[in-house]
Amino acid sequence: MDSSIIFSGIVLGLLFWFIYQQLPVKRLKTLNTTDFSEVLNKNKSNILIDVREPHELKTGYIKDAVNIPLSQMKKRLDEIPEDKTVMLYCRSGFRSKKAARILKKKKVNMIHLRGGIMSWHGEIKHTK
């Protein structure tokens, strides 16, 4: 097989994957750090989920966040109540959007922090 055909197929596959990742997720609202913080402070009944891996929490986390890593999300869906808005964040925003794609099966309303914790201007808690 011609290597240019293989290369073109790989590039085309990556392009489709990138476009798919940019598509909106149903029931997911993306907010900047200011708006995310306002919603978080205004409605304490929302559930805040940090989808990073446990070792990443050493760099800090948002107060009251529950850690459900993306790698465990499918196995732990029963921990997420369907009657609450789910607020998601990760390090940069990429994994939390992937988590929202998994959670859309639960038909919950979701809010995602654009830019992840790297964009966060609020208080950060640290593990002991």
Q: Which sequence positions are flagged as catalytic?
A: 90
Please give the span between the terminal C-alpha atoms of the chain, in angstroms, as a whole number: 56
As a 3-state breakdown, the chain gives helix, strand, coil percent values, each rounded to 5, of 50, 15, 35
Whether 102 contacts 80, CB under 8 Å:
no
